[in-house]
Structure 1
Amino acid sequence: MDHDRMADIIEIEQLLARYAVAMTRDDIDAVMEVFTPDGCYRAFGDTYTLADFPRLVAAAPKGLFLVGPPAIELDGEQATGTQPLCFVDQTDHQKRIGYYEDTYRRTEHGWRLATRAMTFLRRSGARDSGRPHDPTRPEPTGNPEPTGTPEPTGNRGHPQ
């Protein structure tokens, strides 16, 4: 692997580490900084743009976002990746596990997340993007999503 490719992978890994730390610290500004201006997050059967992030993160449970190393595929100024996640709720230590499917884009500020899609792994064996009926999550504002947004894999919206 050449030096430039290694440098890009390390930069993306650090970007994802900043996301996990910011979510663990409940630092919405730092979470938003790792995304492109047109970036979005997909879960719960919906797509959320940056304008939605403050409400979405405020409604999310608080706890530890423990992530594994991402598998990254570079393609010039863009890349894709998958990163495992184990979230531990700080109030009861219940876990949620799954993985993110991402697209990344090199910007004037370095690599940024363009899209992030969450797939939850359920005890039943199902894989889905979350419970669309979760009453605590806000509705997205309906802003258009960037092209290339990955769809979470598996059975969307099915409970455990």
Structure 2
Amino acid sequence: MDRSFIETKILADNDGAITALAWPFGSPDRVGDMITKGAFASAKLPIPMLFGHDANDPIGVWDGAEERDDGLHLKGRLLVGELARAREVQALVRAGAVRGISIGFVTLKALPRPPRGRSISSLDLLEASLVTLPCHPGARVTAAKDAVSALRLAAAIQRAAAHLSIGKA
């Protein structure tokens, strides 16, 4: 009898860890602006994680930023252990009601992009917000770690492994 073994390693935590594609390169936002790779080079971390660009509603902190070929990726943490509002927003993210990211910045260098918008090559990143509808349709939460999701994944893997062993019998 053939056997299949699947080994998994799952980081299951409830600390509010979150990652996001904050700005995709190569496509414009809803107003026609494009930000080019290298524009985020002067970003100073950490930056505030807000809800809906409301400076009076901080919910966490972004402490990691990396420009990759596809865009600006952020890593941060909702302050779920300290703020009730962060726990509420985390629930909205988990449910899929809040999936977008929108950045707040000051433009330092840009050129017009006909017929509308700008090509931004340098900026000062001030904040990144969790939002329901981002200005850039491709800006989104990419992961929000939690124990419930990890347990669902583990159960799915167990079902798949059981199905594979039944098929081999």
TM-score (norm 1): 0.25
Q: Which has the higher helix share?
A: 1
Structure with higher Rg: it is 2
TM-score (norm 2): 0.24
Structure of greater relative contact order (alpha carbons < 8 Å, 6+ residues apart): 2
